[in-house]
């Protein structure tokens, strides 16, 4: 349901440095966070991945959430719908959410079922230019039997639906119908820059390229945050972030690059929290490209890349080179479905057998065409930027020429950019799927952008059948069996070469308490429970 997409720019330090910093010293009512990524909107409808998650956790509410252990827990919903409590019908196609009656928007208006139905209709409204509608095409209808009940009728059972429908797997938080329902679309409304939410904090000031200021939402229905003000600073580069942490101009940073771990560990009076993520670093092959669609070429490049050495050189053991595909399948990961082994001799043999003969400069040629492909990545992506030259060198050693092209992060991920338009051959990206292991958004035949994130253009009808079956059964063992088959097909077909499973690296002050890291929910999931001992 609008599956979360983790940008390659997750590891970027992309925005302009702040020109107006708070001075150091005691700030009992303020926590300053230096961060890599500035949102393009404060309306989660127009966000993806970690940015959507962070904005949503700070300022909005969901029907359900994940806790730090990955269990689904209620948020706006009173209870999590299950078959046992009658929230999921016997045939698995009707789900009913009963809402709490004590939740209001920050302007005092009650949050009701009307808001949930409105947000659903905003997602399906084709005039809203949003990144993904994955899963919403499998909903027959959504309605409100009364002010505090939301009912959903599915076209077929969906095992991951509860977490995906305004839950922990969704990009989308609940929006206020009373403020937005009169607009034909929400693409350019003032709400997107100055929203009214229902979460623990209110967005009070957004100075683009500088900072985002927040203060507590006094109407928040749960325990009120103990830190009254947050200020999220958008910083140009790692050196500036490091210096601000050292000089106490900033208190914390999230999503730090593992290549900076030695410097991070040198910051006095701070803790480093490392959390393995349901995400994966990958080379994406565009199977519509004449060269990239050649299976022998994909297999050769995958065999030429030494994942373990790459990770040892760039992430110092903090990212796992052997479980990248686990980042896609999470609890359904089959450890026996092994990835392609590093073997340069095999890579050379398979290319020769496929008719690619070394030229005078070592780059292979077939029918007068050089074995040359472009590798795109975000210009602000620190880790991929470090890895790309090493991959280029390894590819050249077997006769494949990779030419890197760096795009501004916003251009790379825009709906008119090379990924969504299919104007690339290979791409070095970091993506996330979520806790539920359904990978359909990345590999299903009907999930080509903008419907989903199948940037490779992969389509295998047998895989699609297994995906539909796995998504429609609620038995965990059966889902694991089906997803094991899908993993093996992906490894054989190579639309992706899985290179690493990343970890979230957060740097927080020793005096910050109540912080709970979660692979499912991100750094702000516990924000209402943070407090400072200063």
DSSP for 233-254 reads EE-S-HHHHHHHHHTTS--BBS
Residue holding tokens 């958008």? 234
Is residue 421 situated within a structural domain? yes
Q: Look up the domain containing 328 and give its range.
A: 279-501
Is residue 85 situated within a structural domain? no
Average pLDDT of span 414-430: 95
Average pLDDT of span 335-359: 96
- Report how far residue 408's alpha carbon sits from residue 390's, in angstroms, rounded to the nearest whole number: 21
Q: What is the pLDDT of residue 132?
A: 79
Does residue 18 carry a pLDDT above 80? no
CA within 13 Å, CB half, 124: 15
Q: What is the pLDDT of residue 82?
A: 94
Does residue 31 carry a pLDDT above 80? yes
Mutual angle of helices 295-304 and 382-397, in 10-degree steps: 110
Among 20-29, 224-233, 508-517, whose mean pLDDT is lowest? 20-29
Is residue 344 situated within a structural domain? yes
Q: What is the pLDDT of residue 13?
A: 33
Average pLDDT of span 54-70: 93
The model's confidence at residue 20, banded by pLDDT at 50, 70 and 90, is: very low
Average pLDDT of span 408-430: 93
Average pLDDT of span 247-256: 94
Helix (H, G, I), strand (E, B) or coil at 469: helix
Q: What is the pLDDT of residue 475?
A: 87
Nearest in space to 314 (alpha carbons), one of 435, 418, 428: 428
Q: What is the pLDDT of residue 11?
A: 35
Would the pTM count as exceeding 0.85?
no
Could you give the strand order of the β-sheet that contains 211-216, starting from the edge strand earlier in sequence? 30-35, 229-234, 211-216, 201-207
Q: What is the pLDDT of residue 14?
A: 34
- Report how far residue 3's alpha carbon sits from residue 169's, in angstroms, rounded to the nearest whole number: 6
Residue holding tokens 């404060």? 42
- pLDDT (tens digit per residue) in 168-181: 888 899 999 999 99
Does residue 22 carry a pLDDT above 50? no
**Count: domains in the chain:** 1
Q: What is the pLDDT of residue 3?
A: 53
Among 130-139, 289-298, 314-323, whose mean pLDDT is lowest? 130-139
Does residue 236 carry a pLDDT above 90? no
Is residue 341 situated within a structural domain? yes
Q: What is the pLDDT of residue 138?
A: 86
**How many helices (H) does the chain have, and how many strands (E)?**
16, 21
Asked if 502 and 281 count as a contact pair (C-beta separation under 8 A), the reply is yes
- Report how far residue 4's alpha carbon sits from residue 495's, in angstroms, rounded to the nearest whole number: 19
Instruction: Give yes or no for a cis peptide into 450 (omega within 30° of 0).
Output: yes
Is residue 481 situated within a structural domain? yes
Mean pLDDT of the residues in the chain: 91
Q: What is the pLDDT of residue 43?
A: 97
- pLDDT (tens digit per residue) in 370-382: 999 999 999 877 7
Q: What is the pLDDT of residue 69?
A: 81
Q: What is the pLDDT of residue 23?
A: 37
Alpha-carbon separation of residue 3 from 171, 172, 209, 337, 452 (angstroms): 6, 9, 27, 24, 8
Q: What is the pLDDT of residue 1?
A: 66
List CB contacts of 388: < 8 A, sequence separation 6 or more. Answer: 375, 377, 404, 428
Does residue 134 carry a pLDDT above 80? no
Asked if 441 and 433 count as a contact pair (C-beta separation under 8 A), the reply is yes
- Alpha carbon 442 to its chain centroid, in Å, reads 12
Beta strands per DSSP E along 414-481: 426-432
Asked if 264 and 506 count as a contact pair (C-beta separation under 8 A), the reply is no
Average pLDDT of span 392-410: 96
- pLDDT (tens digit per residue) in 512-531: 999 988 777 789 999 999 99
Q: What is the pLDDT of residue 26?
A: 57
- Alpha carbon 489 to its chain centroid, in Å, reads 23
- pLDDT (tens digit per residue) in 149-200: 999 999 999 999 999 999 988 889 999 999 999 999 999 999 999 999 999 9
- Report how far residue 62's alpha carbon sits from residue 103's, in angstroms, rounded to the nearest whole number: 11
Does residue 458 carry a pLDDT above 70? yes
What is residue 92's DSSP assignment? S
Higher-scoring residue by pLDDT: 385, 287: 287
Q: Can you give the CATH number for the domain in which 475 is found?
A: 3.10.105.10
Higher-scoring residue by pLDDT: 381, 228: 228
Is residue 522 situated within a structural domain? no
Beta strands per DSSP E along 69-161: 72-74, 94-98, 139-146, 149-154
Alpha-carbon separation of residue 515 from 55, 230, 294, 440, 509 (angstroms): 17, 14, 48, 33, 10
Does residue 17 carry a pLDDT above 50? no
- Report how far residue 321's alpha carbon sits from residue 313's, in angstroms, rounded to the nearest whole number: 12
Is residue 226 situated within a structural domain? no
Average pLDDT of span 65-73: 88
Asked if 388 and 15 count as a contact pair (C-beta separation under 8 A), the reply is no
Nearest in space to 34 (alpha carbons), one of 314, 264, 220: 264
- Report how far residue 410's alpha carbon sits from residue 3's, in angstroms, rounded to the nearest whole number: 19
Average pLDDT of span 206-219: 97
- pLDDT (tens digit per residue) in 469-514: 999 988 889 999 999 999 999 999 999 999 999 999 999 999 999 9
- Report how far residue 445's alpha carbon sits from residue 274's, in angstroms, rounded to the nearest whole number: 35
Does residue 110 carry a pLDDT above 60? yes
The CA R_g of the chain, rounded to the nearest whole Å, is 23
Most confident range, picked from 15-19, 320-324, 431-435? 320-324
């Amino acid at each position: 349901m609008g599956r979360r997409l983790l940008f390659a720019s997750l590891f970027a330090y992309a925005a302009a440095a702040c020109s107006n910093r708070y001075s150091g010293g005691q700030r009992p009512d303020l926590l300053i966070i230096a961060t890599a990524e500035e949102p393009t909107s404060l309306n989660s409808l127009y966000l993806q991945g970690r940015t959507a998650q962070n904005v949503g956790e700070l300022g909005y509410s969901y029907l359900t959430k994940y806790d730090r252990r990955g269990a689904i827990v209620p948020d706006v919903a009173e209870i999590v719908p299950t078959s046992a409590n009658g929230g999921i019908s016997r045939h698995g196609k009707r789900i009913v959410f009963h809402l709490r009656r004590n939740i209001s928007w920050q302007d005092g208006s009650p949050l009701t079922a009307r808001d949930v139905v409105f947000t659903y209709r905003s997602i399906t409204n084709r005039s809203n230019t949003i990144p993904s509608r994955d899963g919403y095409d499998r909903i027959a209808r959504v309605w409100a039997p009364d002010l505090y009940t939301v009912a959903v009728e599915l076209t077929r059972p969906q095992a991951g639906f509860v977490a995906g429908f305004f839950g922990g797997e969704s990009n989308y938080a609940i929006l206020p119908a009373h403020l937005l329902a009169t607009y034909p679309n929400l693409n350019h409304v003032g709400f997107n820059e100055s929203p009214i939410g229902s979460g623990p904090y209110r967005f009070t000031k957004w100075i683009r390229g500088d900072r985002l200021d927040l203060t507590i939402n006094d109407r928040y229905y749960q325990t009120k945050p103990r830190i009254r003000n947050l200020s999220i600073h958008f910083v140009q580069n790692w050196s500036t972030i490091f210096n601000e942490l050292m000089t106490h101009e900033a208190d914390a940073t999230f999503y730090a690059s593992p290549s900076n771990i030695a410097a991070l560990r040198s910051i006095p009076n701070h803790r480093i929290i490392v959390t393995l993520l349901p995400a994966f670093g990958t080379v994406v092959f565009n199977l519509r490209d004449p060269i990239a669609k050649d299976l022998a070429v994909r297999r050769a490049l995958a065999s030429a890349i030494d994942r373990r050495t790459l990770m040892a050189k760039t992430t110092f053991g903090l990212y796992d080179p052997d479980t990248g595909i686990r980042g896609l399948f999470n609890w359904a990961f089959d450890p026996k479905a092994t990835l392609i082994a590093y073997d340069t001799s095999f890579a050379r043999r398979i290319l020769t057998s496929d008719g690619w003969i070394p030229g005078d400069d070592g780059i292979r040629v077939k029918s007068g065409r050089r074995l040359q492909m472009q590798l795109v990545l975000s210009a602000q992506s620190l880790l991929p930027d470090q890895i790309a030259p090493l991959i280029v060198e390894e590819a050249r050693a077997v006769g494949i020429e990779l030419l890197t092209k760096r795009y501004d992060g916003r251009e790379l991920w825009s709906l008119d950019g090379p990924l969504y338009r299919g104007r690339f051959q290979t791409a070095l990206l970091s993506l996330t799927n979520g806790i539920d292991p359904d990978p359909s958004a990345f590999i299903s035949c009907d999930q080509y952008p903008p419907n989903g994130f199948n940037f490779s253009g992969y389509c295998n009808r047998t895989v699609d059948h297994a995906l539909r079956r796995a998504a429609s059964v609620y038995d965990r063992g059966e889902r694991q069996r089906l997803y094991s088959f899908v993993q093996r097909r992906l490894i054989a077909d190579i639309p992706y070469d899985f290179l690493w499973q990343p970890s979230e690296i957060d740097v927080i002050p020793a005096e910050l308490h109540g912080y709970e890291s979660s692979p499912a929910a991100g750094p702000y999931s516990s924000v209402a429970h943070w407090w400072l001992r200063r």
